[in-house]
Structure 1
Amino acid sequence: MRFLVPFLFGLTGFAVLVALGVWQLQRLDWKEGVIAQIEARITAAPVDLPPTPDQSADNFLPVRLDARVTGAPLRVLGAWRGGSGYRIVAPVETGGRRVLVDFGLVPLSASETTLAPGPYAIIGNLSWPDDVTSATPDPEGSTWFGRDVSAMADTLGTDPLMVVARTVTPSAGPQPLPVGVEGIPNSHLGYAIQWFGLALVWLGMTVFLLWRIRRRTL
């Protein structure tokens, strides 16, 4: 009995921790499948801009636009995967509609940014970025600190739609930063390693405890 209770307690804890690690591996498989689906959607053949895009159904939808810039752009200051700088978001007219286009990145040294009116052939993805939090500062003139589609659309007088450019022909100047899967969190492998590591530690502590009990009984 002196051995049985610690043994069962240790075995139960070890089994629970291993089960949690296996569950995280299952979640990893699921998340990788989701990311693969999103990546396939992002890189699919572009289509014309839908008449009434829906955020839940059309996020990341590849689209093509023949557009002209119809106003001064906004500059979004931040650190992006392409480096620190300003993302240039401008109002464009396409097919009788006015929408937002994220043309890409210019360096911090760019004191002002202007875009030629075009026309441009743009291939990109519909996107509803989640850059803005409660800690995001308010805009300062044309400089913003996060892409807020609704607020930007109100400021520039466009439909609340944003296309993040993948290619712009001819080049408008900014370096396009296409939508990608790099920002989608996927920490399940790390969590699984942690649970399996804790399981090994638990097993080692159980073996050590049983050894100590055995020493006392000798």
Structure 2
Amino acid sequence: MSFRLILTATLSIAILAVFLGLGKWQLDRLKWKQGVLAEIDRRIAAAPVGLPAQPDPERDKYLPVTVTGMMGANTLRVLVSSRDAGAGYRLISPLHTAEGAVLVDRGFIRVADPMPPVPEGAITVVGNLHWPDDRNSATPENDLSTNTWFARDIDQMAEVLETRPILIIARQTTPAEQGILPMPVTSAGIPNDHLEYAVTWFLMAATWVVMTGFALWRMKRRTRDTLAPRSD
């Protein structure tokens, strides 16, 4: 076997090992991510507790809480899209509690729906603390003049509604609000593309095997033809 064939085969095996290694790494990442999502789901569904005195974005993210208070009159509208209901708004209102006013994400209404009134009297909200990251480089700035928000910027919302910078995503209110579809926190929106990445790397490995095999076959055939004796 020629040196060229040996070198080509060695390099091909090395590159194949890289593809397979990357695929295996993505499978390991998939297992890790599934564990993270399972822990998030467990935390979201846990029994609610009282609102901590000083919630921490890292420690208390997704923490289930129950709070009671009076809903403030002002409501902010965050433009979103629901898979089942289409375009609409999340409604963010202040809830005045014994621990101070906080933000409550009450749920979803369609764009064409009228703004529902805020509940009168005491209301109990069961939901999850959240510090959402809705904004990216393509997100427009919030339009306060038309009360159209494109991201749940908690600090800005807290300033406008004069609350603490704490957001509770409601999953249940008592008494229940009519005309509002709750949009509770779930892990469904957290990206988990590791399986697709793993399949991509393994397909590349399979393609590389076919291409390498064909290339080696051609090189071997060309070498054989070159060395074959000619008949005059």
TM-score normalised by structure 2 residue count? 0.90
Moved more, 107-116 or 198-207: 107-116
Structure 1 Cα separation of the partners of residues 75 and 158 of structure 2: 11
Whether the aligned pair in 2 keeps the contact of 1:82 and 1:177 (CA below 8 Å) is no
Moved segments of 4+, more than 4 Å: none
> Which runs of structure 2 are paired with 1:13-92 in the superposition (5 Å)?
13-81=15-83, 83=85, 84-92=87-95
Considering only aligned residues, what root-mean-square deviation do their CA atoms show, in Å? Answer: 1.4
User: What is aligned with 1:181?
Assistant: 187
Task: Give unpaired runs (5+ residues) of structure 1.
Answer: none
Cα offset, 1:138, TM superposition? 2.3
Structure 2 Cα separation of the partners of residues 133 and 194 of structure 1: 27
Whether the aligned pair in 2 keeps the contact of 1:73 and 1:113 (CA below 8 Å) is no
Cα offset, 1:114, TM superposition? 2.1
Deviations 1:133-184 (A, max 9, x none): 3432322432212111110000000000000001111112311100000110
Cα offset, 1:82, TM superposition? 5.2
TM-score normalised by structure 1 residue count? 0.95
Structure 2 Cα separation of the partners of residues 93 and 82 of structure 1: 32
Q: Which amino acid aligns with 1:34?
A: V
> Which runs of structure 2 are paired with 1:132-147 in the superposition (5 Å)?
132-134=135-137, 135-139=139-143, 140-147=145-152
Q: Does 1:4 align with 2:6?
A: yes
| Structure with bigger gyration radius | 2
Is the alpha carbon distance of 1:137 and 1:188 closer, same or farther for their aligned partners in structure 2, counting shifts above 3 Å? same
Structure 2 Cα separation of the partners of residues 32 and 79 of structure 1: 26
User: What is aligned with 1:205?
Assistant: 211
What secondary structure, in the 3-state scheme, does the structure 2 residue paired with 1:175 have?
coil
Whether the aligned pair in 1 keeps the contact of 2:142 and 2:151 (CA below 8 Å) is no
Q: What percentage of residue pairs aligned between the two structures are identical?
A: 42
Whether the aligned pair in 2 keeps the contact of 1:72 and 1:114 (CA below 8 Å) is no
What secondary structure, in the 3-state scheme, does the structure 1 residue paired with 2:197 have?
helix
Moved more, 198-207 or 116-125: 116-125
What secondary structure, in the 3-state scheme, does the structure 2 residue paired with 1:123 have?
strand
Q: Does 1:120 align with 2:126?
A: no
Structure 2 Cα separation of the partners of residues 82 and 94 of structure 1: 33
What secondary structure, in the 3-state scheme, does the structure 2 residue paired with 1:58 have?
coil
Deviations 1:25-55 (A, max 9, x none): 0000011111111110000000000000011
Q: Which amino acid aligns with 2:182?
A: P
What secondary structure, in the 3-state scheme, does the structure 2 residue paired with 1:171 have?
coil
Moved more, 150-159 or 114-123: 114-123
Structure 1 Cα separation of the partners of residues 120 and 141 of structure 2: 30
Moved more, 109-118 or 197-206: 109-118
Cα offset, 1:191, TM superposition? 0.5
Cα offset, 1:85, TM superposition? 0.8
User: What is aligned with 1:101?
Assistant: 104
Whether the aligned pair in 2 keeps the contact of 1:71 and 1:92 (CA below 8 Å) is no
